[in-house]
Amino acid sequence: MATVRAPAISERFVALLDRERVIDHPLERRLYSRDGSIAEGDCGLVVLPETTEEVAACVRLAAELDLAVVPRGSGTGLCGGAVPLHGGLVVSVARMTQVLEVDPEVPCARVQPGVLNLDLSVAVRHLGLHYAPDPSSQQACSIGGNVATNAGGPHCLASGVTAQHVLGMEIVLGDGEVLRLGGTAPDPPGYDLRGFVVGGEGTLGVVTEVTVRLMRTPPEVRTMLLDFPTVRAAGEAVGGIIAGGIIPAAMEMMDRRMTAAVEQFVHADLPVDAAAVLLVEVDGTPAEVAAHTAVVEAVGREHGARHVRVARDEAERALFWKARKSAFGAVARVAPNYYLHDCVVPRTRLVEVLERIERIAEAHDLIVMNVFHAGDGNLHPLIAFDRRDAEQVERVHAAGKDIIEACVAVGGVLSGEHGIGLEKRDFMPLTFDAASLDAQARARDAFDPWGRLNPEKVLPLGSRCGELVLDAGSLPPGTWL
């Protein structure tokens, strides 16, 4: 496809929007060449539409000029999904930040895609409602980006990931056509295209409006910290709690290194000498909370928990969650950069995989820290490093590859909630055979027969049967991953 460097092209977009919403200064373009991952691409022009019509006009013009279109939310993604390649056009929805409608009777909210995740929950809190998916980046990530990656978060254990909370959407296809999919009326006839777009990583269309389900805030919540002498004991407690017949609202684990880093940052009086800490939250009616708390406490102690600390009040509960959600920021105290992984393994294999990851890190002479969604087996091993040290970066990548292979070897999947993007694209054949990759490519082509949207993401080159690949698996020149 063409690139957008020619000044005449920039002027065409200025005519559609206005000058301040078309970015082509090299320094600013450089900012848009990255996201929250460690990938860096090549950004052509950035446009900042504010309405569906403007998005459609930009996409139509991109089609006329044969430009690739890379949709972008807040740019907090961790798999390189929003990283433009070959000077493609970045369509940022960062200015589409209106909550268009809240209907407490459904209950649901209709929002523009640039609305930040936490802002939505704050906007509906007075109605006793909240938006359930709560990624750790929820202060910065957008609903549009959440839809693209099918984002999760600690509270998805009981209430499900983004796909279960998106009722409907408006989407601009690669030729500029605007479609409304789904809505508050359940199960419209035909295929569930709405469900397919969630997790589509911006390769199926530009989502310009989302109707999300809101949930009633439960009458009672109890949040507990349990500290364990070994990681194995904590992992077995996770399985024991599930086997006890309950699905807690959230069940998170932090290892010793991570707990120490976080404690220095939030001063929550965390048990820094514990090998592993479990953060477990139960909610519901008073009777449900009492019954579920009893299970968590009993199973915890049976597996050697030294203490079960129950948050005394909302302030302490907020502190526990601050500790969990600021974990990634706290890593800055250990090393300047980190590479955050995202794999899911069967809950029953959690302990052995954690031990394997520790050995992988040791073998590559790296520091790995763990904070993750233990309840659903969603691991987030984090490798702290210094990107100025090229040799170390190589070891980081080698360790990352070993971690992914270790997870897949026990029946795991490549990503739990971050997505595939560029980062894991070439690992897809580890879990899908050729026929399955080809089918995914054909389904994608049904949405975007023009290949306009976020090309080269998600599926490795050569996924389509008969696709000619000279250098399979390599990223475009100039891409830093």
Longest dimension (CA), the chain: 70
Q: For other proteins, which is the closer residue by CB, 173 or 319?
A: 173
Q: Are the beta carbons of 414 and 364 closer than 8 angstroms?
A: no
Considering the complex, what minimum distance in angstroms separates the CB of residue 478 from other proteins? 26
Q: For other proteins, which is the closer residue by CB, 23 or 39?
A: 39
Considering the complex, what minimum distance in angstroms separates the CB of residue 362 from other proteins? 26
Considering the complex, what minimum distance in angstroms separates the CB of residue 28 from other proteins? 30
For residue 225, what are its two tokens? 């910290």
CA nearest to 24, candidates 40, 39, 7, 41: 7
Q: For other proteins, which is the closer residue by CB, 160 or 329?
A: 160
> In a 3-state reduction of DSSP, which class is residue 378?
strand
Q: For other proteins, which is the closer residue by CB, 48 or 246?
A: 246
Burial class, 417, CB count within 10 angstroms (exposed 0-12 / middle 13-18 / buried 19+): buried
Q: For other proteins, which is the closer residue by CB, 4 or 251?
A: 251
Contacts for 162 with CB less than 8 Å, ≥ 6 apart: 133, 146, 147, 149, 150, 151, 152, 198, 199
For residue 305, what are its two tokens? 């928990």
Q: For other proteins, which is the closer residue by CB, 259 or 454?
A: 454
Cα 349 to the center of its chain, rounded Å: 23
Considering the complex, what minimum distance in angstroms separates the CB of residue 76 from other proteins? 16
Considering the complex, what minimum distance in angstroms separates the CB of residue 83 from other proteins? 18
CA distance 139 to 144: 14
Considering the complex, what minimum distance in angstroms separates the CB of residue 195 from other proteins? 4
Considering the complex, what minimum distance in angstroms separates the CB of residue 184 from other proteins? 4
Considering the complex, what minimum distance in angstroms separates the CB of residue 75 from other proteins? 18
Burial class, 464, CB count within 10 angstroms (exposed 0-12 / middle 13-18 / buried 19+): middle
Q: How far is CA 170 from CA 60, 199, 443, in A?
A: 16, 15, 19
Q: Are the beta carbons of 46 and 61 closer than 8 angstroms?
A: no
Is the peptide bond between 188 and the residue preceding it cis, with omega within 30 degrees of 0? no
CA nearest to 311, candidates 254, 275, 263, 270: 270
Q: For other proteins, which is the closer residue by CB, 114 or 154?
A: 154
Considering the complex, what minimum distance in angstroms separates the CB of residue 109 from other proteins? 14
Half-sphere exposure of residue 409: CA atoms within 13 angstroms, side-chain side: 10
Considering the complex, what minimum distance in angstroms separates the CB of residue 232 from other proteins? 15
| Helix 286-302 / helix 231-243 crossing angle, nearest 10 deg | 140
Considering the complex, what minimum distance in angstroms separates the CB of residue 6 from other proteins? 33
| Helix 314-325 / helix 256-266 crossing angle, nearest 10 deg | 120
**Phi, psi values for residue 199, rounded to 5°:** 90, 5
CA nearest to 98, candidates 77, 116, 80, 74: 116
> In a 3-state reduction of DSSP, which class is residue 279?
strand
Q: For other proteins, which is the closer residue by CB, 69 or 379?
A: 379
Angle CA(384)–CA(399)–CA(429) in degrees, nearest 5? 125
Other C-beta atoms closer than 10 Å to the C-beta of 10 total: 18
Considering the complex, what minimum distance in angstroms separates the CB of residue 429 from other proteins? 11
For residue 429, what are its two tokens? 């054949």
Q: For other proteins, which is the closer residue by CB, 153 or 271?
A: 153
Q: For other proteins, which is the closer residue by CB, 10 or 136?
A: 136
Q: For other proteins, which is the closer residue by CB, 265 or 432?
A: 432
Considering the complex, what minimum distance in angstroms separates the CB of residue 414 from other proteins? 4
Q: For other proteins, which is the closer residue by CB, 187 or 391?
A: 187
Range 429-437 contact pairs with CB under 8 angstroms and sequence separation of 24 or more: 429/460, 430/404, 430/405, 434/465, 437/463
Q: For other proteins, which is the closer residue by CB, 331 or 406?
A: 406
